[in-house]
Every structure is written in C-alpha cells, then in structure tokens.
Amino acid sequence: MSTTPKQYAGYTVWLTGFSGAGKTTIAHRLSATLTSLAHPVEVLDGDAIRASLSKGLTFSREDRCENILRLGFVSELLSRHGVGVIVSAISPYRSARDMVRGRIPNFIEVHVKCSIGECERRDVKGLYKKVRAGEISHFTGIDDPYEEPADPEVTCCTELETVEESTAKICAELIRRKLITVPPGSLHES
C-alpha cells in the first residue's frame, strides 16, 4: 500500500518595511522554523530578486511596482503548488502590495515596523551612510515614500521585540489560519 505525501496549502508571508528594519532576519528565522517542522518553504529576498529576475529595473515608482509584481508572480506560482513563500522586500507602495494580495489566496502581510532612526543606526548595508553622503537618491523613507500597510495581518515592532518574538507572531497567524500544523510544545510562544 503506497502512501501519499501530506499536502500543504500554499501561502505567502509578505514582509514589508524600511531597509534595515529586520525583514531578512525574520524571513530566515521563519524559514528555519518552518523547515524544522517539515513544511515546504522558499524565501524570496528582494535584493536577490533585483540582482536576477528584476535585473535592470530602476528605482522609479513604475519599476519598483514591476519588481513587486514579479515577486508576486513567483510567489503565486510557488504557493499554488503547496509551498510556503516568505517574501522579504521593502515594497514601498500599498497599491502594488494590494495587487499581489489580490492574486494570492493565502496572503499574509507583515509590517516589519522600525523607525528610520533605528534603521539608520543599524545600517547593516551601509546604505543610509551613502544616502547622507549624497551617493544614493530616491531612498525609501528618506527622499522616497513608504506607504505603511493599512491593515496588516501581523505587525512586528523590531525595536521592541526579538526576532524570536516576531517569528512566533507570524507562526501564530499561520496556525490560526490552519496553514501550518505544529506538534504541541514545538514552538515557544511569547
């Protein structure tokens, strides 16, 4: 008698926020947590996508939206086949995020909230320093807009909570929606 592999409902966790807010850190921690629970998952990082699938796009509003739509297209394909997709991208425009939301049935928007001051203090990529030196323009949150999510499913305040607490919040939403199953005691609730 053959057994069929457990089927999972696909979903997309969309992490949006300023550069340096903690999106990538949370994405990788969430991926490790879900992988340890044997859930199929893929991380789509905005920087990696810009270097490959979206190579050549500028930072104009139109190209930023096109980048988000490309991320959304890949997310939709993967989630349609039972993969949990974790997107880590600034995605500054609400309209582009809403278009993606409209295409993906199990879409969870996560606002990775952090003040510009704290992001600049962290400056993990040295970008804020370049902005202040005049080497970079059209930088989200400084001289380009960022439209906060109107009603995100999850808000992670990375100035106030640990990466583990942020990850637990997202996992709680996935559990609430019955998109993942978790053996009792396997996640530390915060």
Residues 166, 163: Cα–Cα separation, whole Å: 5
How confident is the model over 33-50, as a mean pLDDT? 91
Q: Is 139 annotated as a binding residue?
A: no
Annotated ligand binding at 17? The verdict is yes
Among 88, 91, 115, 166, the active-site one is 91
**pLDDT, tens digit, 9 for 90 and up, residues 51-102:** 787 788 878 889 899 999 999 999 999 999 999 999 999 999 999 999 999 9
> What is the b/e burial string over 16-26, where b = at least 16 CB atoms within 10 angstroms of the residue's CB?
bbbbbbbbbbb
pTM for the structure as a whole: 0.90
Check residue 146 and report its DSSP letter. Answer: -
Q: Give the CA distances from residue 115 to residues 16, 118, 127, 140, 148, in Å, rounded to whole numbers and listed in that order.
A: 13, 5, 15, 12, 12
Topology at the third CATH level for domain 11-176: Rossmann fold (3.40.50)
Residue 137 appears among annotated catalytic residues:
no
